[in-house]
Each structure stands twice: as structure tokens, then as C-alpha cells.
Amino acid sequence: MFHTSHGTVETPAFMPVATHGTVKAMTSSEIESIGFDILVVNAYHIYLRPGHSLVKKLGGLHEFMSWKHPILTDSGGFQALSLSKVRKITDDGIIFQSHIDGSKHFLTPLKSIEIQRALNADIMMCLDECPPYDSDYEYMRNSVELTTRWARLCKEAKSDCENGLFGIVQGGVFPELRRRSADDLLEINFDGYAIGGLGIGESKDKTFEMAEITATNIPYEKPRYLMGLGSPEDMVEAISIGIDLFDCVVPTRHARNGTVFTNHGKLVIKNARYVEDKSPIDEECDCYTCQTFSRAYLRHLYMTGEILAMRLLTFHNLYYYSTLMKKIRESLIRGEFHSFKTELKSRGDRLS
Amino acid sequence: MFHTSHGTVETPAFMPVATHGTVKAMTSSEIESIGFDILVVNAYHIYLRPGHSLVKKLGGLHEFMSWKHPILTDSGGFQALSLSKVRKITDDGIIFQSHIDGSKHFLTPLKSIEIQRALNADIMMCLDECPPYDSDYEYMRNSVELTTRWARLCKEAKSDCENGLFGIVQGGVFPELRRRSADDLLEINFDGYAIGGLGIGESKDKTFEMAEITATNIPYEKPRYLMGLGSPEDMVEAISIGIDLFDCVVPTRHARNGTVFTNHGKLVIKNARYVEDKSPIDEECDCYTCQTFSRAYLRHLYMTGEILAMRLLTFHNLYYYSTLMKKIRESLIRGEFHSFKTELKSRGDRLS
């Protein structure tokens, strides 16, 4: 659990991603009703459209989106590097071209914090460099040093504002660099620590090895956020090594592609076997979609390209994620997380 | 007001169109909450996907869609003629190729009723021919005779089932043929009468002249349904000449294209003038969209192509339509329809 000026966040928590200021296909009321108490908004996208200055003028992200609970913004760096065709990393920041209109931008640590402050995020993220997972030691060491320098500049730019600021631990798959990055950031002192640069191509074993090394170095009282990883299996694994926060487009993107999560594994709604299936996606699920519609109807909506298919499947997947996190929190309190994890894994992918 | 086995319909009524078994971007619960008590479903689309036999097996359209109020289905004829590349009208029916997979189909009066019975529509429509508005007298006279013959076959095919059946008056822009078509259908005796073949290119004056001639020939106690016309201005005009029922894709399609209805005219959300506009679409509107979000936010969602834009704008437009019909019904009861109509027209298109 941690506190922000827009309320408390129960951990471990999953944060749905609101790319352009909305979780795709969902209203803020629905996200709230499902039980989420924090969202991630991509600073990069809001910076380009409609612009952080406009959002500030309109009262900040909370008022703009009509979301009264906490918001975490990312720094914009990840998208500036992954979505832009032309980009260059200098000592001072990231030069990139907008993926929308080709306009040129320079994202510095100062600029990133300026954007996130304008949005009035409850939790801001430091600008970092996230190099390819297979970068060599030399490159990665220099990159960690750069990330530390930028983190210091972000902390300075935050100055006296009350919005929280998280540092991001990098270091690729080198244990020594991970520890060093964590130590550097701990010295600067942040409100929480993210683990970046994982889940980008390295093996799952490496992912969790690095996440554990990093998490172990972060004091217990600070939130630990594993960025971008969020399959149910990954999350329970990560929680067992001390991770508190997750964000991932998996539940929403999978839904729009017709894949839904159930208590018995994943289900691909377009499969012919569901043509005449009167049962809900998941008999054990209490969500609106499962309480109201059959697999046959959902399949039909999906096959005809109806927006409602995306809505109903997204609602279900987010409900599944919210319920999963609630169950995990309960199992942790009761000291039954280990058996919960074992059961979740044994249920496996029986459908698909 | 008229009765069906799924409840009473207050008239004049607007029926949202649920093309593939859902009003685009909306849930059945939302449509109900907005206040609609009847929907139109396109038999042509459901016949092709997922198939009427499957829907029957799954308990009929009401259960399939989870909609407990009345449903009106069209005959499928209009889409078979407008969406299909290859089509031919014979004395016995319409030969057409599916716009999806090119498969060949033969839609006869018997087949159309078989489909609509399988769907368990509360109100079924007769198969008719809807010729181009500028067809000559000779063609139109033969067409009216064909429509009458088909109407008789539909009535026979309905036999003892309790689902209602409406006849469709045709006759183009020829008063004599309109009267003759109405007389023919009245002789067969239907539960209600639709006016077809209008709003397809003829002048507005002709539309209402023909609608009035037809409506005047239909007994007061039978519902009169003007097919496919549904701008607010058209509806008030049509109500003043005795029309009870409307269906139209205008509110939903306009919404998806970013045009919304307000009490002060239409508003095009993408217009630059709304970039910083903190006010709702319509200050006078009580809908979720207007109570929750600013024009600036809705414009942003629209410009970034978010599904939520379509949802929120569709919700608002349908709410506007539902509220409009409620106001019209109240004004009719109070004997103030004339002044209501005058005021609606005077408010005009001040925004856009």
C-alpha cells in the first residue's frame, strides 16, 4: 500500500494503461467500477496530442479524463525510442521525430518532468535509457551511468512539487550493473523504484533473475514497479520476488484481438467451437459480460467487427485482472500466496 | 402506443438500428437505460452472419442480444438490393450475392418470414420491392402489384404465429399508386403499415407529400412507420402528418463520424474551436457524456481515434433522440406539439 494525493493504492496492484488518456474502449467510470485504483498514462502520447500545456490549462489529467484516483505517467522515453523512426540519444536527452507528423522533439530529463508536472501525475517517472537487451557490457555500463545522471536531473527538476517521483533501475542482464543502478538511485532517494529494461527479448529466467536482484536491493517500504510485464503468470512470479506494481497492455490488447482470460486459461473467442456455445466466457466470473452474454454472441460480435466486442472483451479481461490482484492480496494477507500461485499455474491453458 | 409480446411501445417512437444484433458501440443495458423500448434488427445481416437458424437455436434474438423489449426486423429485401453487387428481382423473390463471401441466395416472401420467425421478432416486415425514386409510372405500377402479391404471401407464411406483421406501402412519387398500394395492403390486413421507398433521392416536399397521402389512408389505430427517415427535423415534420414510428442510422453513424446533436443544432466535435472548450457537448443535456466530459476531451479522443469517442458520442446522440421523442410525446398530450415543432426549427443549426 502507498499513498498519493489522489488516494491510496493497495499493492500488489495492476495499472491499466490509458494511452491517449483513456483505457482503450473503456470509460473512467467502468475502470473505477471494476476496482482499479491507479492508471498509467503515456506522457509521450499526451505530449504530442493534445499537448501537456493544453491538459494543464484544462485542469490536469484527472480533470481532463474525469478520473479521480491516482495516475502514474511514464517519462515518454520508451515510446520516443520505440515509436519514432528517427531518434538519437545524446548526453542531454532523446532527439526524436513524432510518429504522427514527423515533427522534431528533444526530450530531456527536465522536459520530461515539466510534461509530467503539467499533467499533474501523482507519480512521475524519471527519464531513462532502455537499451536493447543484448547490448554489451560496455554499452550497458555507460547507459546505466547516463540513466543515473538523468535521474539526478529529474529529481532536481521535481524540486518542491508534491507529485511523487520514481527512479528506474536499468543494467540489462548484468547483475553487477543492476545492483549498481539500484544503489545509485537509492542514493538520490526516490518515492519508489521501477525495474526497467526487462521483458524486451531476454529469457524469462533472466527476467526474473534480474528483477529479483534489483528488488532485493530496494528497501521494503518503497514501492517496486516492474515495468511492462503483466501476464497473470508473470505477475504471480514477480510478486513472489517482491514486486508491488505492474502495468501492461496485455489485458486490453488481447481483448481487442479476441483473446480473453478465464480461470481455466486463455480463450480465443473466434474459434469455431464457440459458434453455438451458450455459456459465458467464464462460469466463475461475475463481470457484466459474463453475467449477460454468451460466447456465441461475443464470437458473432467479434466476427462482424462490432465495437461492442472490444468493449465487452476488454471489460471482462480487466475484471479478470482486478479480481486476480484482489485474490493475490487476500492470499498474501492470509499467508496462502504460495498455494494460490501453485493453483493458478496448474489451471494452465486448458482452453485456447 | 401499441402492444407486443415483449411489452408496450410508446409512440411516436424512434427505433435505434442494431445492424448485427447490437446498436453500434452500445450495450443493450445502455440502450435500455437511455429509454428506448424497441429496436430494429437487420434480418439481412443476421441471416448472413451468424445465420437465423443459429439464433433460433440460441433462443431467438432477444436472448441472443440480451434485450428484453420489443424487436422489429426488416425483411432483408432493402439490403439484399442495396449491398449486393449481383441481384435480380423475379416474380418470386430477390436473387442476390452475399456482400461478404459472394455466396448466392434467393430471398422469397416465404423465406423472409421464415427468417424473421426464427429470430422471433415482435414485429416482422413484409418483403417488398423498393424501386429507385425516379422509376417511371409503368415500372412503379408493376412493382406495387408485385409488392402486394408478396405481402399476401408473407401474410400466409405468418399463418398462426403471434409475431406481428407490417405491410409496406410503395408507389414511388405517384399519389395514385401510393393510395392503391395502401388499399391493397389494408385489404390483406396487417398489424401495422410502413411507408417505404421514401427518402431515397426525391425532394423533401415529395417525401412528405407521399407520406401524408399514405398515412391518411391508414386507420388511426394501426401504427404507421416511416422507414429510414430520422433527422430530428424530418421526424417532427412526419409526426405532424401522423407518423408513429421511425428508424434511422443517423444518430449512431453521425456520432461515429464526430457529429453530435444538441439543443442548439449540430456540433462537429473535430472543429478546432473546441480544442480548449471545457464545456460539455450540450449544457442542457443530462446524459453521462455531457455530465462527465468536456468538448476538449471528446475532441481529443476523436482525433486520436479512440473507441471511447464513438461510445460517448453515440451515447449522447441516442440520449438526444430519446429525450426528443419523450418531449414530443409530452407536447402531443398537452396539445403543444405545434409550438414545440416551431421552437425546434427556430433553434436551427447555430453551432456546427
DSSP string, A39-97: EEE-HHHHHHTT-HHHHHHTTHHHHHHT--S-EEE--SHHHHHHT-SSEEE-SS-EEEE
CB atoms within 10 A of CB B57: 15
A29 contact B CB<8A: yes
Q: Are residues A72 and A217 in the same domain?
A: yes
Residues of chain B with pLDDT under 50: 352
Distance between CA atoms of residues A41 and B204, nearest Å: 49
Sheet holding B94-97, edge to edge: B87-89, B94-97, B104-107
Q: Are residues B20 and B152 in the same domain?
A: yes
Q: Are residues B224 and B265 in the same domain?
A: no
For residue B350, what is its C-alpha cell? 447555430
What per-residue confidence (pLDDT) applies to A84? Answer: 82
Count structural domains, chain B: 2
Q: Are residues A272 and A238 in the same domain?
A: no
Q: Which of A198, A222, A248 is the last residue of a domain?
A: A248
Q: Are residues B331 and B279 in the same domain?
A: yes
Q: Are A119 and A56 in contact (CB under 8 A)?
A: yes
What per-residue confidence (pLDDT) applies to B352? Answer: 46
Q: Which pTM was predicted?
A: 0.97
B311 contact A CB<8A: yes
Asked if B247 is an active-site residue, the reply is: yes
Q: Are residues A218 and A310 in the same domain?
A: no
Spatial neighbors of A102 by CB under 8 A, at least 6 apart, are: none
Residues of chain A with pLDDT under 50: 352
In-domain check, residue A253:
no
Indicate the residue of A45, A54, A296 with minimum beta-carbon distance to B58: A296
Spatial neighbors of A333 by CB under 8 A, at least 6 apart, are: none
What per-residue confidence (pLDDT) applies to B349? Answer: 55
HSE at residue B135, side-chain half, CA atoms within 13 A, is: 21
Long-range own/partner contacts, residues B80-87 (CB < 8 A, 24 or more apart): B80/B44, B80/B105, B80/B107, B81/B130, B83/B44
Cβ contact B311–A25 (<8 Å): yes
Q: Are residues B262 and B231 in the same domain?
A: no
Q: Are residues A307 and A172 in the same domain?
A: no
In-domain check, residue B276:
yes
Distance between CA atoms of residues A242 and A232, nearest Å: 15
B246 contact A CB<8A: no
Indicate the residue of A54, A292, A304 with minimum beta-carbon distance to B49: A304
What per-residue confidence (pLDDT) applies to A352? Answer: 46
Q: Are residues A100 and A54 in the same domain?
A: yes
In-domain check, residue B53:
yes
Q: Which of B248, B271, B294 is the last residue of a domain?
A: B248
Cβ contact B300–A21 (<8 Å): yes
For residue A151, what is its C-alpha cell? 535521474
In-domain check, residue A352:
no
DSSP assignments along B276-297, one per residue: T--S-S-TT--SHHHHH--HHH
Q: How many CB pairs under 8 A join A and B?
A: 110
CA B152-B153-B157 angle, 5° bins? 120
Distance between CA atoms of residues A258 and B95, nearest Å: 34
Q: Are residues B324 and B207 in the same domain?
A: no
- Specify the CATH number for the domain of residue B174: 3.20.20.105
What per-residue confidence (pLDDT) applies to B18? Answer: 98
In-domain check, residue B352:
no
Domain range spanning residue B289?
Answer: 254-347
Q: Are residues B233 and B317 in the same domain?
A: no
Indicate the residue of A24, A288, A311 with minimum beta-carbon distance to B306: A24
Distance between CA atoms of residues B95 and B90, nearest Å: 8
Q: Are residues A262 and A239 in the same domain?
A: no
Rounded to a whole number, what is the distance in angstroms from the first to the last CA of chain B?
Answer: 35
- Chain A residue with the nearest C-alpha to that of B256: A307
Spatial neighbors of B302 by CB under 8 A, at least 6 apart, are: B258, B269, B270, B309, B313
Q: Which of B182, B215, B248 is the last residue of a domain?
A: B248
